[in-house]
Amino acid sequence: MRIGQGYDVHKLVEGRKLILGGIEIPSKKGLLGHSDADVLIHAIMDAMLGALALGDIGKHFPDTDPKFKGISSITLLKHVNELILSYGWKISNLDSTVVLQAPKIAPYIEKVQTNLAENLKLKNDCVSVKATTNEKLGFSGREEGAQAFAVVLLKQTKVN
């Protein structure tokens, strides 16, 4: 087995959509970034790549490359999953936490979980998504940004 961890942060600004785990969540502010700035998927992809020491998403999808501008992070997630599978590994389970002061995302968590599981071809009970506020502390608490943390466990599907 292999384990990987990922972390990401994006700035919250007006005039952008808030997309988490590929689901658009009604919000006054959204996340700023070159892609759709899906902070949760970015942390998950970094954990997947980290488990196989394949670098990070900045290496695979550079934000200087115009072809990734505005791209759905779900597309990138599927690409990373195919890469993992091509190396003979698959996700055993993943666990993640989104740190966001507002809006409350609890009503959307199940939808996010199901969407991630479907796109990773996993059962829902292999994909955990949790959320917390930052108790109004720091940049997350001031609603200036959102953070996400993820850990992923991979299991080998074939012996090389």
Half-sphere exposure of 64 (CA within 13 A, CB side): 2
Among 27, 36, 41, 42, binds Mg ion (CB under 5 A): 42
Q: How far is the CB of 68 from Mg ion (least distance, A)?
A: 11
> Of 14-22, 40-48, 70-78, 138-146, which part binds Mg ion (CB under 5 A)?
40-48
The region of 36-44, 82-90, 93-101, 111-119 touching Mg ion under the rule CB under 5 A is: 36-44
Nearer to Mg ion, 7 or 90 (CB): 7
Based on the shown chain and the rule CB under 5 A, indicate whether residue 8 belongs to the binding site for Mg ion: yes
Of all residues in the shown chain, the one whose CB is closest to Mg ion is 42
In whole angstroms, give the CA distance from residue 64 to residue 41. Answer: 19
Please say whether the dihedral angle defined by the alpha carbons of residues 140, 91, 127 and 34, taken in this order, is positive or negative: positive
Cα-based distances in Å from 113 to 52, 87, 92:
23, 25, 15
Residue pair 108/75 in contact by the 8 Å Cβ criterion: no
Using CB under 5 A as the criterion, which residues of the chain lie in contact with Mg ion when the complex forms?
A: 8, 42
